[in-house]
Structure 1
Amino acid sequence: MQVTTCGRRAGPALLPSVVGMDTSTDPRAPIPPVLAFRGVERVYGSGPGAVRALDGVSVDVVAGQFTALMGPSGSGKSTFMNVAAGLDDPTGGEVWLAGHPLHALDDTERTLVRRDHVGFVFQAFNLVPTLSARENVVLPFELAGRAVTAEVRSRVDGLLESLGLLDRAEHLPSALSGGQQQRVAIARALASEPRVVIADEPTGNLDMRTSREVLALLRAAVDDHGQTILMVTHDPVAASHADRILVIADGRLIADHGRMTPGSIADVLVSLEVGAA
């Protein structure tokens, strides 16, 4: 099944010809996607026991949208995210992130691309326990050797305030609730103004009320600040916050939907499970 994009069937792989193009003088010129897969494969092992985690995936993720990636367990969601972030190498095909050909870069080069262009939000928060909330948000700047200027500190405090954390900025993670820790992780992901935020089950460890608050914050990052978010989730309610829902099964993208209700998303997932039975 061929995935459609914006109501049209995907055309030929044109991305390499437009990546890096200066569109400032021609508003009609195509704008490269933030993330693009072109015939991407990822195979683990060899011979009869080989596992094809990604099988010829081609898709674009455009700027300023909230995209959710869903699918059954073992469908290839985690592999998709790892390849998208340059944490894993594709076996075949091309992966372009913020105009950079991840498939052609070495480990050091991919690390620099992640540092400069990607923010991460994980299910497990991944905060440094000995640093305060504010210090955790600033940490990526320090690790990258970037000056923590007055402008940076102002932006960090603005994020903390917008997330309801400014009065908790000097607290260690152990003194914060799970929801507050995830908000710190979101602030850390957004502080450097990355091209894309990759969120891996960001509400997996949160209760229902806190999950909805976190999803509302991610939604606001898109609507109010033009952020691009790519989120893996198994939760139909979480996915219903997204502008676009990609469905993967057996390593292939099998559906590409616009905004949907939680019930409609659940029906799609149930149909997959029934079809696989």
Structure 2
Amino acid sequence: MSTTPTDDQAVVSFRQVTKSYGTGSSIIFALSDVSVDIRRGEFTAIMGPSGSGKSTFMNVAAGLDDATRGGVFLASQPLHTMDDTARTTLRRREVGFVFQSFNLVPTLTVAENITLPFQLAGHRIAPQEQGWIDHLVHVLGITERIAHKPAELSGGQQQRVAIARALAPRPAIIFADEPTGNLDTRSSREVLQLLRSAATEYGQTIAMVSHDPIAASYADRVLVLADGRVVADHGRLTPQQISQLLLTAEGVPA
């Protein structure tokens, strides 16, 4: 097993990573000997059939779950040798999350939700950080909603707040788990364009788990998992090309 990541441009590195559940004849391999890098400044879509291991991939990469074997590096730090406290501290500093269900705190205003990562980390917001937050609020078009509670916002607006919250601390990587799953077509397109802009304009690294070929077509790179292994790794593709990749991964003839 490699003890160091080999690509200094990688924000996340997997080195021969296996994640299994159960023992003996009932053992299930969610990830099997995966070696791959998520590179700095790229928007990567992680796709695959149901049960392919894509959610496990995200959980292990973010330090939410342990690998059974292998090396996992986040922002050059070895997650596989850290205890829970060290992993939590690293995750708060280096990772942002955008979820399908938004996960905003209903009792907090938009402004309070956006600055929540700073509060959880016990970090006083510096003037330049506040300037960045103000810029995000403006770019994301939620300035007039800053004092509202989540229940007063549309789904698309709630996801914009979630994206602002994820971007605010300038994390090393944002994990987006089916971020458009609860949105209508127009809101989905807007959210995906925002994620695309975060990568191209701000150099933000994004890893998005998705089953949607249209969503994945916004990414710089498409990783396809099947049976816990990376079976395809491509640059930017059209929705039609991604659909064919997924059919192949599911064993359906092209």
For Structure 1 versus Structure 2, the TM-score category normalised by the shorter chain is: over 0.9
Alignment partners' CA distance in 1, 2:172 and 2:234: 23
1:26-175 equivalences in 2 (<5 Å): 31-175=8-152
State whether residues 224 and 249 of structure 2, in contact with CA within 8 Å, keep that contact through their aligned partners in structure 1: no
Alignment partners' CA distance in 1, 2:121 and 2:213: 36
Q: Counterpart of 2:103 in 1: which secondary structure? A: coil
Segments of 5+ residues of structure 2 without an aligned counterpart are none
Match of residue 3 from structure 1: none
Q: Counterpart of 2:57 in 1: which secondary structure? A: helix
TM-score by length of 2: 0.96
1:230-269 equivalences in 2 (<5 Å): 230-269=207-246
Deviation at 1:149, TM superposition (A): 2.8
Alignment partners' CA distance in 2, 1:209 and 1:63: 29
Number of corresponding residues: 253
State whether residues 36 and 95 of structure 1, in contact with CA within 8 Å, keep that contact through their aligned partners in structure 2: yes
Letter of the 2:41 counterpart: G
Alignment partners' CA distance in 1, 2:222 and 2:205: 14
Deviation at 1:269, TM superposition (A): 1.0
**Aligned match for 1:198, one of 172, 175, 186:** 175
| RMSD between aligned residues | 1.5
Alignment partners' CA distance in 1, 2:28 and 2:140: 42
Work out the percentage of aligned pairs sharing the same amino acid: 58
Q: Report runs of 4+ in structure 1 exceeding 3 Å deviation.
A: none
TM-score by length of 1: 0.88
Alignment partners' CA distance in 1, 2:126 and 2:5: 37
State whether residues 64 and 227 of structure 1, in contact with CA within 8 Å, keep that contact through their aligned partners in structure 2: yes
Q: Counterpart of 1:115 in 2: which secondary structure? A: helix
Letter of the 1:68 counterpart: A
Alignment partners' CA distance in 1, 2:88 and 2:190: 31
After superposition, what is the alpha-carbon deviation per residue over 1:205-225, rounded to whole angstroms, capped at 9, x for unaligned? 101110000000000001110
Alignment partners' CA distance in 2, 1:65 and 1:135: 29
State whether residues 32 and 99 of structure 1, in contact with CA within 8 Å, keep that contact through their aligned partners in structure 2: no
Q: Counterpart of 2:124 in 1: which secondary structure? A: coil
Match of residue 26 from structure 1: none
Deviation at 1:31, TM superposition (A): 2.5
After superposition, what is the alpha-carbon deviation per residue over 1:226-272, rounded to whole angstroms, capped at 9, x for unaligned? 00000000000000000100000000001101110001101111222
State whether residues 225 and 231 of structure 2, in contact with CA within 8 Å, keep that contact through their aligned partners in structure 1: yes
Q: Counterpart of 2:4 in 1: which secondary structure? A: helix
Q: 1:240 to 1:45 in 2, by over 3 A?
A: same
Letter of the 2:93 counterpart: D
Q: Counterpart of 1:40 in 2: which secondary structure? A: strand
Letter of the 1:83 counterpart: V
State whether residues 15 and 34 of structure 2, in contact with CA within 8 Å, keep that contact through their aligned partners in structure 1: yes
After superposition, what is the alpha-carbon deviation per residue over 1:163-207, rounded to whole angstroms, capped at 9, x for unaligned? 000111111000000000000000000000001011000001101
